[in-house]
Amino acid sequence: MAGPKANARVIIVGAGPVGMVCALALNQRGIPVTVFEQEPAPVKDQRAASIHPPTLELLDALGVTGKIIPHGLVSERYRFHDRVTNSVVAEFDLALMRDEFRFPFVLQYEQYKLTASIAAEYANADDFGVRFAHGVTAIRQNSDAVEVDVCSASGQERLSAAYVIGCDGGHSTVRRCAGITFDGFTYPEKFIKIATTFDFGTVNPNLVYRNYFSDPSEWCNLFKVRGESPGGLWRAIFPLQADEEERVALSRERIEQRLQKFFPRPGKYEIEYVNIYSVSQRVAANFRKGRILLAGDAAHVNNPIGGMGMNGGIHDAINLAVKLSLVMRGEHGEELLDLYDRQRRHVAREYIQTQTIANKKLMEERDMTVRQAMFDELRRTADDPQAARHYMRRAALLHSLQMANAISL
């Protein structure tokens, strides 16, 4: 194994959207960064794709937003549907927030495209490198530096950095190496995501690009993204039934049955992608341990209803980059990193966890009286301009940013 290579750069583990945004934000503030990613290239998975208005503003400060808007889908409206009655319960229109949001819409832009675009344009210099097919196997730290063991096809090497940031997902190696617990729970049911090129608008004129279907036995989230084809891609997320085996859920017959239940059409669906995954609500006990820091899914995970995971992670990344750059330039003490921990961990626990759990409850409520009361409240909110604006601020995570900023040293 090669000996330690001393340097003053930051090592980021994980080249997803959170890791790449964090690297870009640090680098633009004069901090050298190296990103290690165990995958051989950006994975074209159908994961997070909704970028909320405040996140677009943060990305715009990095010079990213104007470049990605032409490649995404602009979604001003989102709708809540009752599948039982096939009716629209409520609609929220972000265009009404033009006086408050510089980007009054959600940009439907897949996270792998965001990762790839940042890597292609910025990560090609000595002070900003991305090394795919490099897995981190061990981390040790002392008061002066962090040593990181990295494994690749070329062998193993040991590098030294000023700080290490774990942006390596819910099963974070960085978090495990730091000995940080990941408290919370995993839902008993798994989720299935099905992608198709079929245009659902031809069978349901009430659809917009972002749709939430409540159903007491099987809810559905339906979104459109550009995908890789001219007509775009529709992605539907459903919960598996408690006793449903994965092999059955993945069968062509069961996939067809799921889609036809919500969106009946003549003929069969053409399926582009199917995936089953577990979903948890967890928050790391600490987002900082000495010179090791966590952001994104490595720090907190939640269910995908509302699109808060990637957005919250990008908010982590930029918050951390601002503070860490000040510390590394000697303009502030390390207590600023403790402030990052307090701000973003509080938001993850008290805001994102609470909101996403409530979102799932609305989708799956089985008590018809409670369900109707929830719908009535949602309608009243959408029909009241002030209440609707408040709702959209919360759903877009603007309130969470304000909540974080209210926590001071």
pLDDT at 5: 38
Domain assignment of residue 90, yes or no? no
Kindly list the averaged pLDDT for each block of 10 residues, start to end, along the chain of length 409. 56 96 96 95 81 98 96 96 95 97 97 91 85 95 95 94 97 97 95 94 93 95 90 94 93 96 92 94 98 98 92 98 97 97 96 93 94 96 98 96 94
CATH number at residue 384: 3.50.50.60
What is the residue range of 352's domain?
10-72+109-185+282-405
Rounded to 5 degrees, φ, ψ at 316 are -55, -50
Domain assignment of residue 100, yes or no? no
Residue 181 DSSP label: -
SS (H, E, C) 371-406: HHHHHHHHHHHHHCHHHHHHHHHHHCCHHHHHHHHC
Total structural domains in the chain? Answer: 1
pLDDT at 247: 95
Domain assignment of residue 263, yes or no? no
pLDDT at 122: 84
Domain assignment of residue 56, yes or no? yes
Distance CA 271, CA 136 (A): 35
- Prediction pTM value: 0.95
User: Element (H or E) spanning 182, and its range?
Assistant: strand 182-186
Query: Among residues 395, 182, 177, which one has the least CA distance to residue 300?
Result: 182
E-strand ranges in 46-145 read 50-51, 73-75, 77-82, 87-93, 106-108, 128-132, 135-141
Domain assignment of residue 82, yes or no? no
Domain assignment of residue 87, yes or no? no
Domain assignment of residue 241, yes or no? no
Domain assignment of residue 191, yes or no? no
